[in-house]
Amino acid sequence: MIRRTSALAGAALGLSLVAQQALAFDITDMSDAEREAFRSEVRAYLMENPEVILEAVDALEQRQMAQQAEADNDLVANNAEAIFEDGYSWVGGNPDGDITVVEFMDYRCGYCRRAKEEVEELVESDGNIRFVLKEFPILGEASTLASRFAIATRRVAGDEAYKSVHDALMTLSGDPTEPVLTRMANTLGLDADAIMTEMNSPDIDEEIAEVRALAQTLQINGTPTFVMGDELVRGYVTLDQMRQIVADEREAG
């Protein structure tokens, strides 16, 4: 027992001396020869242990991701009303769901089209998700025209008609020109003339501008972008990933 205690005391003393030496170390107080030797030792260590560099890069990336996630959570919390309850965006799924999923989308976005079926499967299979669509046209004039048509449809004919138009625009193969949109409205049994007239409403300008301003505040510059509960999800994610995020949000809540 005495020998063990002495050994521990000796080890503690040794660690203390090392710590004191480390604290006393000042690279700015080294001679040129000492500095060169130090650099050579560091280089030799890194060459012998290159995995240390990868570990450091991974640690930095993990730290940056955690910082970004925390900043995104703050953005969502500070803009919750505009995100979840703007008063004009289409709302589907379960209106009383315990999780709200919001999608910022563009009809000309390939990844939005790819995500559409997976998002709808998520909402339908879960049964307890409130789903909000944000018209966020960022891919040129054709995108803006498509969004104006969808918004005008909702204003003229209601939410059910909006969803029909939304689905049709998501699968449209050509450009959404005015003749094409007029034909689409007629095919869906809608009042094409009323919708085309409503497309020029300044209220639609205001709605699109408000969504763009919100996206800028949230630092969103691409589609699709989702808000799932309290989490901001930038870019396309698979159905399994969405389900995991929703599960994590429920557990955290």
C-alpha 146/C-alpha 82 separation (Å) is: 23
Q: Which tokens is 85 given? A: 């309850």
For residue 33, the model assigns a pLDDT of: 82
For residue 163, the model assigns a pLDDT of: 98
C-alpha 70/C-alpha 221 separation (Å) is: 19
Calculate mean pLDDT across residues 168-194: 97
pLDDT band per the 50, 70, 90 thresholds, residue 26: low
Q: Which tokens is 122 given? A: 């998520």
C-alpha 178/C-alpha 31 separation (Å) is: 76
pLDDT tens across 121-176, in order? Answer: 999 999 999 999 999 999 999 999 999 999 999 999 999 999 999 999 999 999 99
Calculate mean pLDDT across residues 71-97: 94
Calculate mean pLDDT across residues 50-79: 80
Question: Among residues 55, 253, 89, 166, which one has the least CA distance to residue 245?
Answer: 253
Calculate mean pLDDT across residues 188-206: 97
Q: Which tokens is 81 given? A: 């009303």
- The count of C-alpha atoms lying within 13 angstroms of the C-alpha of 58, restricted to the half-sphere facing its C-beta, is 6
pLDDT over 70 (residue 12):
no
Calculate mean pLDDT across residues 36-44: 83
pLDDT over 60 (residue 19):
no
pLDDT over 90 (residue 109):
yes
Calculate mean pLDDT across residues 39-52: 83
Of the listed ranges 22-36, 58-72, 117-131, 170-184, the one predicted with least confidence: 22-36
Of the listed ranges 19-28, 36-45, 71-80, the one predicted with least confidence: 19-28
Question: Among residues 75, 71, 70, 85, which one has the least CA distance to residue 217?
Answer: 75
- Beta-carbon contacts of 161 under 8 Å, excluding residues fewer than 6 positions away, are 153, 154, 188, 190
Axis crossing angle, helix 141-157 with helix 178-187, rounded to the nearest 10: 30
Residue ranges and CATH numbers for the domains of the chain are 26-78 (no CATH), 80-252 (3.40.30.10)
Q: Are strands 99-105 and 225-228 parallel, antiparallel or unpaired?
A: antiparallel
Greater model confidence, 19 or 150: 150
Q: Classify residue 20 as exposed, middle or buried by CB count within 10 Å of its CB (0-12, 13-18, 19+).
A: exposed
Q: Which tokens is 193 given? A: 């003339």
Q: For the whole model, what pTM was predicted?
A: 0.75
